[in-house]
Structure 1
Amino acid sequence: MSPNSELQTQLDEASRDYEEFASRGLKLDITRGKPSPEQLDLAGDLLTAVTADDVITPSGVDARNYGGLEGLVELREIFAPLLKIPTDQLLAGGNASLTFMAQALTFATMHGTAADDRPWGEGPRKLLCPVPGYDRHFALTESLGFELLSIPMDEEGPVIAEAQRLAEDASVKGMWLVPMYSNPTGITISPKRAAKLAAMPAAASDFTLLWDNAYGVHHLRDEHVENIDILNLCAEAGNPERPWIFASTSKITLAGAGVSFFGGGPLSVDWMKTNLGKISIGPDKVNQLRHVRFFGDSAGVEAHMRKHAEIIAPKFDAVLDALESAFGDSDLARWTRPDGGYFITLTTMEGIADRVVKLAAEAGVKLTPAGATHPYGLDPANNVIRIAPTMPVLEEVELAAQGLVACLKLASYEKLLAG
């Protein structure tokens, strides 16, 4: 049999498998990294953790009133060791860390930073964006007038040589990073790479690491790496104000009613508080007190996250098992095998990611749009697909994985046969 005849046979088989799957009329969605209802149920007691006659914090603060811009000290004490941030260098805010990110970038654009009071908005401003990366980071900074520069990733994090080369331009103000279980690859930055980023020369005197530690406690396995103390690494390198650290409980407790965190060097925290004081008289301390009562201490957070892992780890395994069974002995695709976080990254043959996504949509499986993992929604190789298996029930994840396999086979053999 000629190579083309063999490929045609494989394409015909893939087409039949796809048509059979599409005929089921399913409606499955693995587009975004949302907690499942079962995960949200784990935090049900949060809703009754504060009552009308019990609103005073252990330190004597009436959680109902104004003030306390830095957030409740009891909450900060719980999360400080988990995030490797001293309590007095950690602020607690509202439900979205993305809001803290937008505020910090806006303040820097208008007023400069703790390390340099020249406003970023006075001239061209650029940010380095490791790819594949987080689409909300890209959308936020693009909306604020930043030019986005892609940085390739390897297994240890952003490629340092390329980052350093681009940082020789003084208009490059910083770099986005998801250091633990990166969105969407699941890569965790190595301590060695983090140390290099902390010490990396940069033309901008206030070059900033936008350290979005969104998944710092979202482990899927009992054995896991520890969070990196980026504050200490930067201080040792002579750049104590380089990191801005962001985190939240959005995927820990209730996604719409969590708490967020901002951490940084001493001057950066004072800078953030000064600017926040112009737009807020304090965060929602009642909700923060709920979290204090619900968790109790840092160990309570860790115990809670083990329950999350019990729910979502089988969903990750279902996707990984389906991909391994279908493509483990081929070179049609490769994929990440994360030990935490919310995503799996699938890398296809070049030029077919959008075709896979389109086929999946037509078969009843919604995937994140191709290109979403890159600045401006443009993946030059058109070969990266983000998979988010957490939201559906396990049976639906298994079905979605079957559909993904069928779509990927069909698109791959179409490509190979077309030459």
Structure 2
Amino acid sequence: MTIELSPDALAGLLEQARKEYQNLAGCGLSLDLTRGKPAPEQLDLSNALFSLPGERYTSADGTDLRNYGGLQGLPELREIFAEALQVPVGQLLAAGNSSLELMHDCVVHALLSGVPGVESRWVDQDRIAFLCPVPGYDRHFGICERFGIEMIQVPMTAEGPDMDVVERLVAEDPAIKGIWCVPKYSNPTGITYSDATVARLASMSTAAPDFRIFWDNAYAVHHLTDTSVEIADLLAACAEAGHPDRTFVFGSTSKITLAGAGVAFFGSSPANVEWLLSKSAKRSIGPDKINQLRHAILLQDTDGLRTHMERHRALLQPKFDAVARILEAELGGSGLAGWTSPEGGYFVTLEVPEGCAKEVVRRAAEAGIVLTPAGATHPYGDDPRDAVIRIAPSYPGLDELEQAIKGLAVCVRLVGYERQSR
């Protein structure tokens, strides 16, 4: 990545970077790019939820949704999301507002009760491990860390996790019980898993008979271009390969409607669905079906969901375009950085010279630009190369975002040239 410079040229560039940083630090900025939250304008797209469902309180089949029951969730809402999540309606559950909660529950239930097809519980094993493609999602890693589950890093490629590494590890080690996957517009790289990767995940041999793929399809409908990128159907592929229970599919409306008041989904084989329902029945008599009805009325059908997401795209795409434009103008050809150009999702991954990410984040914070901590994209908060920075463009206004990315570029130049001058 680094371009070789003469001592005089490097000294000049470093001096210029120091002046730019002094000017930046004097601007009194207070900008936050830490998390991929929907902007207020995106949340406004779903404000109709506050007046829904009006006087209506029954489902399409006449069920009174004000009462107990309905643990599987509202059928008409499950019908809207079945296509996007690639799960048959009868094998899809609609739950509370958090897919992360469902992932957490699945880990807990596997620990305490085991999963279908085996008699042993995970908690009774001497060692439990998960494969973690990196860069990845910090909240996945947080679940593992909470329960003492060992995390094994797997490098990401342009087609998803390095399947040569995945296949070797799961075949050799029966302690490896799962893998975290964000298969479409992956957090934070924007990578979408190829058909070949999906096929290999479905058919690979695993030493653990209770191995599970945690398929977090968080960005299933979050496109940023005219082309709607699609992925192969993992649930169907696993069934065809003779591993019908291998996959847990997760999704939610968190970045579709109201982030704090949406609906989460779980899909899997009939055996896994019955397993989760039987465990969930011990802690809940049913989800908030009135909120699910609100969502069904707002979105109406799969075409309504697509139309709604086009409105999101109209707000998000200019921000992602601005990030790409500014990074190219400020850092293109410098040899100091590379970055992703996602076709969907919520993040841009910035890669800086090895050993520089933490210092770039620190300098940015001192200048009033707060970023996700360097290392958050890796298990235990430790990026071995200290090179990856996650950019979340969604929440700030366009003017603030442009300020923040320009300021971030100043910090990258300063830290990069300081390192070269040592």
Report the TM range for the smaller structure's normalisation: over 0.9
1:56 partner amino acid: T
Summarize the alignment of residues 46-125 of structure 1 with structure 2, pairs less than 5 Å apart.
Answer: 46-51=49-54, 53-123=55-125, 124-125=127-128
- Retained in 2: the 8 A contact 1:133–1:184? yes
1:276 aligns with 280
| C-alpha displacement of 1:330 | 2.8
User: What is the SS of the residue equivalent to 1:311?
Assistant: helix
Structure 2 residue matching 1:222: 3-state secondary structure: coil
Match of 1:32 in 2: 35
1:302-313 aligned within 5 A = 302-313=306-317
1:398 CA drift (Å)? 0.5
Tell me which residue corresponds to 2:418.
Answer: 414
Amino acid at match of 1:200: M
**Pick aligned residue for 1:21 from 21, 24, 47:** 24
SS of structure 2 residue aligned to 1:148: strand
Structure 1 counterpart of 2:205, from 183, 201, 205: 201
Is the 2:192–2:231 contact (alpha carbons within 8 Å) kept by the matching residues of 1? no
CA contact (8 A) 1:84 1:227 kept: no
Letter in 2 for 1:150: Q
Q: 1:326 Cα deviation (Å)?
A: 2.0
CA distance in 1, matches of 2:89, 2:119: 26
Per-residue CA shift, 1:240-285, capped at 9, x if unaligned? 1111000000000000000000001111111111111111100000
CA contact 2:350–2:391 (8 Å) conserved in 1? yes
TM-score (norm 2): 0.97
In the alignment, which of 137, 147, 155 is matched to residue 134 of structure 1?
137
Q: Does 2:266 match 1:266?
A: no
Counterpart of 2:255 in structure 1: which amino acid?
A: K
Q: Where does residue 196 of structure 2 map in the other structure?
A: 192
Distance 2:117 2:261 in 1: 33
In 2, Cα distance between equivalents of 1:216 and 1:184:
15
Is 1:317 matched with 2:309? no
Which amino acid counterpart does residue 192 of structure 1 have in structure 2? A
- How many pairs does the alignment contain? 416
Question: Counterpart in 2 of 1:380?
Answer: 384
The Cα shift of 1:377 comes to 0.2
C-alpha contact (below 8 Å) 1:315/1:390 kept by paired residues: yes
Q: Does the 8 Å CA contact 1:129/1:148 hold for their aligned counterparts?
A: yes
**Unaligned residue ranges in structure 2 (runs of 5+):** none
Deviation of 1:82 (Å): 1.4
Mapped partners of 2:15, 2:322: distance in 1: 26
- Aligned mate of 2:184, from 161, 180, 203: 180
Check the 8 A contact 2:193/2:231 in 1, yes or no. no
Q: Percent identity?
A: 52
User: Per-residue displacement from partner, 1:48-105 (whole Å, max 9, x unpaired)?
Assistant: 1212x31111111111110000001111011001111100000000000001001111
- Measure, in 2, the Cα distance between the counterparts of 1:201 and 1:76: 32
1:8 counterpart (5, 11, 16): 11
Q: State the AA in 2 paired with 1:21.
A: L
Cα distance in 2 for partners of 1:136, 1:240 equals 27
Contact 1:175 1:210 in 2 (8 A): yes
- Partners of 1:116 and 1:395 in 2: CA distance: 55
1:312–1:390 contact (8 Å) kept in structure 2 = yes
Q: What letter is aligned with 1:143?
A: R
* From 364, 369, 385, the counterpart of 1:365: 369
The residue type paired with residue 149 of structure 1 is I
Alpha-carbon shift at residue 3 of structure 1 (Å): 1.3
Q: Deviation string for 1:324-347 (max 9, x for gaps)? A: 112222321111110000000001
Aligned to 2:395: 391
SS in 1 for 2:19: helix
| RMSD over aligned Cα atoms | 0.9
CA distance in 2, matches of 1:245, 1:115: 18
Aligned partners of 2:108, 2:386: CA distance in 1, in Å?
32
Tell me the residue number matched to 1:146.
149
Is the CA contact (8 Å cut-off) linking 2:36 and 2:394 kept in structure 1?
A: yes
SS state at 1:193 partner: helix
Please state if 1:160 is matched with 2:163.
Answer: yes
Instruction: Report if the CA contact (8 A) 2:194-2:231 is conserved.
Output: no
Q: Deviations over 1:340-374 (max 9, x none)?
A: 00000001000000000001001110000000000
Trace 1:240-255 onto structure 2 (pairs within 5 A): 240-255=244-259
Asked whether the equivalents of residues 36 and 395 of structure 2 are also in contact (C-alpha less than 8 Å), the reply is yes
SS in structure 2 at match of 1:302:
helix
Q: List per-residue Cα deviations over 1:385-407 (Å, max 9, x = no partner).
A: 00000000011110001001000
The two structures have a TM-score, normalised by structure 1, of 0.98
1:353 and 2:357 equivalent?
Answer: yes
SS at match of 1:313: helix
What letter matches 1:90 in structure 2? L
The answer (yes or no) to whether the contact 2:195–2:231 under 8 Å persists in 1 is no
**Is 2:407 aligned against 1:403?**
yes
Aligned twin of 2:334: 330
Q: What is the CA-CA distance between 1:115 and the residue it aligns to?
A: 2.6
Query: Matches of 1:257 and 1:370 in 2, distance apart?
Result: 29
Measured in 1, the distance between the counterparts of 2:168 and 2:84 equals: 33
Secondary structure in 1 aligned to 2:421? Answer: helix
Which structure 1 residue ranges, 4+ long, deviate > 4 Å from structure 2?
none
- 1:227 Cα deviation after fit: 3.6
